[in-house]
Structure 1
Amino acid sequence: MIETAVHRPVTLGQTEKMPSYRMDLRQYKNQKEYEKFVKVNTVNDWSTVSWKDIGKPYEVTSFSKDKLDWEEEHGKTLPVHTSWTMFNQSFHEWFSKDVPAEIHEKKGAFFHSLKSFKPSEVKVALGDYIRIHLWNYVHRVQDGIWDPRGKRALFEGLDIQKPRILFLGAAEGYEAMQLSAMYPGGEVVMVDYDAFCRDARFAEFPESYPFLGKNPSTGGEKVYFKDDFKISYVVDDIRNLSFGAEFDIVLSVGLLEHFPDSMKAEVVEWHRKFLKPGGYIVMTTPRAQLRSKLYYEIMADVMNHTYRELMTLEQMGLYLYENGLDIMNHGYIKVHNGIVARAK
């Protein structure tokens, strides 16, 4: 990640585009503005939702060139662990870009390719130029991947203090840190079975990124940074974890949609088995909407190394409801669905 300083000065309400991300410490000014960015609790009774009415998730079938090349070379399906390593390395490379500089470079490369009169070179250069502009819009302009205002809205209102948080498939750990800022004083255990996530994605998350949360001393707002949180990172398969039912929050972000229906119940159980009685399960998945489908098509080489679905909020919720969870809060934000649930 690119950063200018550790714990750079910030102001409540401030937003600013940094070279590789947007920092955003804004709160919603009123209910109307809140509802522009997040729609919550749109289903009144989950028992009335049926698969016949809502259909099944959209399966993404465009895959990265690295995956296709590997499978052609080896004559077999890309192993799951290898696919995740490829994805994490590719995704982290994009998070690490100095985006304005990259836009300038790709623009120059595109115009240079026009002089070659070779359609293949022009096509590659144009694709690179389109992808960096799309990444700039999604991540730096719209802040659709981290989306702090939307996720704070989804995470608010939990009856909990100093929580122990377990993050399954943690990657760089963003959402657990946001939860820790909102409910300070606890600890986080992050789990991912790709060591690259601990050693690069989390290790290189910018120390200067500000998380807006609560000041337990005053009840007002406070800005936190990565090193304010008590975090441990476990590299292991979720199925090998030896934890008991000891966490106040069990969290996953973009995990459920990577498993077919035959495994959805097992994925839900991974969350439930580590949860204290009365604790919260917090899950998000990418939304099934036209712009998300286009994004995963254009960014296939960056994003699509393994099985992936895009879901509506109703589809995500029904998977959880049918597998023994009570849905306490649900909503959709810019590019994600989000649900807060408890075990029945």
Structure 2
Amino acid sequence: MAVEKLDIEQSYYTEKDFETTMLTPSYRIDLRNVGNEHLDQFMNANLVSNWSTLTWKEVGKPYEVKTVAKSKKDYEKEHGEMSVKTSWEYFNRSFHEWFVKDLPEEMSNSKRELIRYLSRFQFGDVKKALGETVRLSLWNYAHRIEDGVWDPRGKRALFQGLDLKKPRILFLGAAEGYEAMQLSAMYPGGEVVMVDYDEFCKTNRFGHFPNQYPFLGTNPSSGHPKVWHKNEMNIHYMVEDIRNLPFGKEFDIVLSVGLLEHFPDDYKAQVMDWHRKFLKPGGYVIMTTPRLQLKSRLFYTIMADVMNHTYRELMDIRQMGLYVYEGGFDILRHGYIKVHNGIVAQPR
């Protein structure tokens, strides 16, 4: 039975915590569905039985998110068009600020400020405080309550059943590296190489990722479920442009999370080539993109100042899959989890 409680003093989680879910001030711990029997957390859509017959006329093009963060607008007024690298630097810092917030305290403070401004008829400040309260409430629901950003049960369901032993995993555009750590827990004993060209991702987003966060995976000695933590994994983090990586075809998994949708169509084939370039024969490409759904469009509108510094699209699984198929891959599994599409594929 799931147990929901606030537990901020426990340093590390163990197998004794199986089938529980716990709230910390910033995120949720979720060790439910230990055996991964309940695959409804990943809807294996099976919408397309033959990708070679699917056309863009049938599926349409992705939805482009056009709302822009105020900080990006302010920067461009002073400096001209923001470069892609600078836009990612702005996004990473903004996004990380929200991951580390003590959300119950922040929401309480924001509501107090709102009441104070209302009592003094400071309507300009009321509007600002109201917007912050709405954003905090939405982020609290999406990330901490629903666990839609990390979504451990959905990610485990997407990643399960691969023919892998001690894999080398390459994570392109890794940010904090969450999904590669989940894969490493499920298929232990290998190596993870995370790549991002923003130093902040290595030092802060990954560097400050909580050591006590538990990843549900496998004990390689017994085959039984086991809790893993970041500091038990063999992880190397490279600050580098993906285009300059020194690797050959040497990885069992090439992974990207929320990467493809940041490139207009003219560049998507190149993105798919990055995945193929480093993959061993028989290896797997795993990709996710944000789902095209009403609540996602609402999220990126309300959270624009946090999220919208770069080109961004929302796709349905058929659109994402068509990019992957046209990029030279056979799709082994396609479907969706809470807020993401998910695909496992291999080169044709």
Equivalent residue for 1:228?
232
Alignment partner of 1:52 is 2:62: no
Distance (whole Å) between structure 1 residues aligned to residue 11 and residue 244 of structure 2: 36
Alignment of 1:79 onto 2:83: yes
Partner of 1:169: 173
The aligned counterpart of 2:342 is: 338
Separation of aligned partners in 2, 1:263 and 1:42? 26
Shift of 1:4: 3.8
Alignment pair present for 1:25 and 2:64: no
**Stretches of 4+ aligned residues off by more than 6 angstroms:** 28-31
Tell me how large the CA RMSD over aligned residues is: 1.6
- Residues 1:35 and 2:77 aligned together: no
Secondary structure of the residue aligned to 1:216 is coil
Match of 1:321 in 2: 325
Residue 49 of structure 1 deviates from its aligned partner by: 1.5
**Offset at 1:37?**
5.1
Q: TM-score w.r.t. structure 1 length?
A: 0.96
- Write the distance in 1 (CA, Å) between the matches of 2:176 and 2:8: 16
Structure 1: how far apart are the matches of 2:265 and 2:255? 20
Contact 2:172/2:194, CA 8 A, preserved across alignment: yes
In structure 1, give the amino acid aligned to 2:22: E
- 1:282 pairs with 247, 264, 286, which one? 286
The residue aligned with 2:73 is 68
Superposed counterparts of 1:7-156, under 5 Å: 7-8=12-13, 11-27=17-33, 33-35=38-40, 38-74=43-79, 76-156=80-160
TM-score, normalised with respect to structure 2:
0.95
Secondary structure in structure 2 of the residue aligned to 1:340: strand
Residue in structure 2 matching 1:196, options 193, 200, 210: 200
- 1:215 Cα shift? 1.2
Distance 1:260 1:105 in 2: 40
Matching of residues 176-191 of structure 1 within 5 Å? 176-191=180-195
User: Identity across aligned pairs (percent)?
Assistant: 62
Contact 1:28/1:34 (<8 A) preserved: no
1:215 counterpart residue number:
219
Distance across 1 between alignment mates of 2:206 and 2:8? 14
3-state secondary structure, aligned to 2:221: coil
The answer on whether the counterparts of 1:166 and 1:189 sit within 8 Å (CA) in structure 2 is: yes
Distance across 2 between alignment mates of 1:12 and 1:65: 43
1:30 shift after superposition: 8.6
Matched position secondary structure for 1:103: helix
> What is the deviation of 1:34?
2.9
**How many residues are matched?**
341
The DSSP-based 3-state class of the residue aligned with 1:207 is coil
In 2: Cα distance, 1:41 partner to 1:206 partner = 36
Residue 238 of structure 1 corresponds to 242
* Distance of aligned partners of 1:308 and 1:26 in 2 relative to their CA distance in 1, 3 Å threshold: same
Q: Residue 120 of structure 1: CA displacement?
A: 1.7
Unaligned runs of 5+ in 1: none
- Separation (CA, whole Å) in 1 of partners of 2:228 and 2:9: 17
Alignment-mate amino acid for residue 245 of structure 2: L
